[in-house]
Chain A
Amino acid sequence: MFYGSGVLRGMLVTLKNMIQSYFCKPEDGGLFTSQYPEKRLPEKERFRNFPFLIYDKEPENLRCVACDICAKECPPKCIYIIRDFDTDGKPLKKPKIFDIDLTVCMNCGICEEACPFDAIYMDHEFEISGRERQGSLLYHKDDLLKSNEHFHKIRPTDAAAIDTRRQEDEAKKQAVKKEPPKPPSTAS
């Protein structure tokens, strides 16, 4: 071809794109951007962003037992947990303070993987913003608590699997409780 024909071919590509952007549907090469605040793409189930604490039915009935595993595993150390104590000074199986600094959180999801009590899961929350640099994005226990129904809504597959597993575990535990513990054998 002649000198400069590559330029002309390249320009035809952009012109084609421009014309298509007006007259074509996204699948035929048209515009594929969606106008975000007004129109939203459907959320993907596997999307995960920022952890939340899960509770069953009542907010007091949270699954977290303040074992501190997630806080230890958290790579940027954004989780801060203080165990609750009752009036007699006996440690309770729930946190008194459970803070996550979302400005520090890097959405790795390791807390979710580390938690042995199915208490912390990754949310679909991504529209968080604050007016101050410190404080407004430091989420406390009440901000983090979300119900199991919410979990079912955002991640139905995972939630169903976890619920059945928990029920099976519960049933096993009940079965173990019903059987009286075997007395230590006296033979040996």
Chain B
Amino acid sequence: MDQLFVGIKTALLSMLGTFMPDWLVTVHSVLISATGIAIFGPLTMMYLTLIERKVVARMQNRLGPNRVGKFGLLQPVADGIKMLTKEDIVPYKADKLLHLLAPITIVVPALMVFAVLPFGRGMIAADLNVGILYFLAVSSTTTISIFIAGWGSHNKFALLGAMRAVAQMVSYEVPMVLSLVPALMIAGSLSTGAIVAAQAERWFAFTPWGFVAFIIFYLCGVAEVNRSPFDLAEAESEIVAGFHTEYSGMKFALFYMAEFMNTFTISALAATIFLGGWHGPFLPSWFWFLLKTYILIFVMIWFRGTLPRLRIDQLMGLAWKFLLPMALVNVVVAGFWYMSSGVIRTFGSIACLVVAFMVLTALNRPYVPEKREYTFAEN
């Protein structure tokens, strides 16, 4: 059971190997993995929309979609048909090429990052030795696509949304990468497979630095995929729909697809690096991986069901004034953890992090005057 998907692939390849030259078998090996990902990604996206709508509905004491199929299970199919048959409108003054290019270029990196996710024991499409770097580099190109969309639409709301998205994503990239540094230091590798292997005894999230890094990474991940409460780029109450204001039909669906696949991959990466990846007792490794990922996705949906949108200055303040210094302190604490041992290791790290947290919150406290003083008013 554990090696189910790996076994299927091996069986297929050995079957092909009976009549094919070796190089063709290698090409097919790549093709099988790529096909698996190309099916898995959009399928996940389709059902994430349903899960999101269902969970948010339950949080608001509603039922959510339940008309199409049993429990609304065919709702994503209905949505897909609707999206495909909708009229595709390109604004008169839009840059036609960029307008077309943006939804394509946003989906490609979202699918590409699936390659380095270890879905289970031996279930990784490409175990690159720079897997994390690859993930961060490829996923950050989303920023460019979003800006292309905003610029190409020739719409002020789209441009505003795109500019917000760029500012936000560039800011959150920094603490996100820094929060990964401790994990890389301890695991001693950038490869996702090696990081998972390093967590065989203890998940990184159960160490002081790992816990803090996990929280920072997760928050930055939520901001990175433009999800609520950091969804200023597509704030519907302020700027219509942000960068995808002028998109309709399948192009809009592609943006949606990219957003949900990014949600999945960010959650999957958080589960890989901090929650022990596919490690877990009894059940198959891929099941554990998906379980952890979906729990993290649930938390993202939970955020969306709970929190109101941040203001832009609060958003930037959180990234630069709180998460970034905290991530830097965390790197130092991880070094301390690595060099020391025993009780002093645990308590020293915890104390250091708690003090840093207190100091940062105290420094970040906004100035609230005790009593309002009126200079010119009589009373």
Contact = CB atoms under 8 A, between A and B. Distances in A.
Partners in one complex: yes
Interface string B58-88: 1111110010000000000000000000000
A3 B326 CA distance: 13
B62 A3 contact: no
Secondary structure class of chain B's binding surface, majority of residues: helix
Contacts of A7: 306-307
Interface residues of B, number: 17
B306 A33 contact: no
B62 A14 contact: no
Given A7-B307, A14-B302, A21 B58 contact: yes
Nearest to B60: A17
Contacts of B62: 31, 33
A10 interface: yes
A11 B302 contact: yes
B146 interface: no
A17 B61 contact: yes
A88 B303 CA distance: 78
A3 B314 CA distance: 14
Contacts of B58: 17-18, 21-22
B61 A14 contact: no
A14 B59 CA distance: 5
A33 B361 contact: no
A13 interface: yes
Interface in B282-309: 302-303, 305-307
B55, B305, B307: residue with the most chain A Cβ atoms closer than 10 Å: B305
B357 interface: yes
Interface in B20-65: 55, 58-63
B209 to A, nearest CB: 19
Contact of B59 (A17, A29, A30): A17
A126 interface: no
A82 interface: no
A18 B306 contact: no
Contacts of B305: 14, 18
Contact of B61 (A2, A3, A11, A31): A31
Interface in A49-102: none
B357 A3 contact: yes
Contacts of A21: 58-59, 61
A32 B302 contact: no
Contacts of A17: 58-61
Nearest to A8: B306
Interface in A1-56: 2-3, 7, 10-11, 13-15, 17-18, 20-22, 29-33, 35
A2 B302 contact: no
Contact of A30 (B61, B361, B364): B61
Contacts of B303: 11
Given A2-B361, A17-B58, 13 more contacts: A3-B360, A10-B306, A10-B307, A11-B303, A11-B307, A14-B302, A14-B305, A14-B306, A17-B61, A18-B305, A29-B61, A30-B61, A32-B61
28 contacts: A2-B357, A3-B357, A3-B360, A3-B361, A7-B306, A10-B306, A10-B307, A11-B302, A13-B306, A14-B59, A14-B302, A15-B59, A15-B302, A17-B59, A17-B60, A17-B61, A18-B58, A18-B59, A18-B305, A20-B61, A21-B58, A21-B59, A21-B61, A30-B61, A31-B62, A32-B61, A33-B62, A35-B66
Interface of B: 55, 58-63, 66, 302-303, 305-307, 357, 360-361, 364
Which 6 residue pairs spanning A and B have beta carbons closest together?
Answer: A3-B361, A14-B59, A14-B306, A18-B58, A21-B58, A18-B59
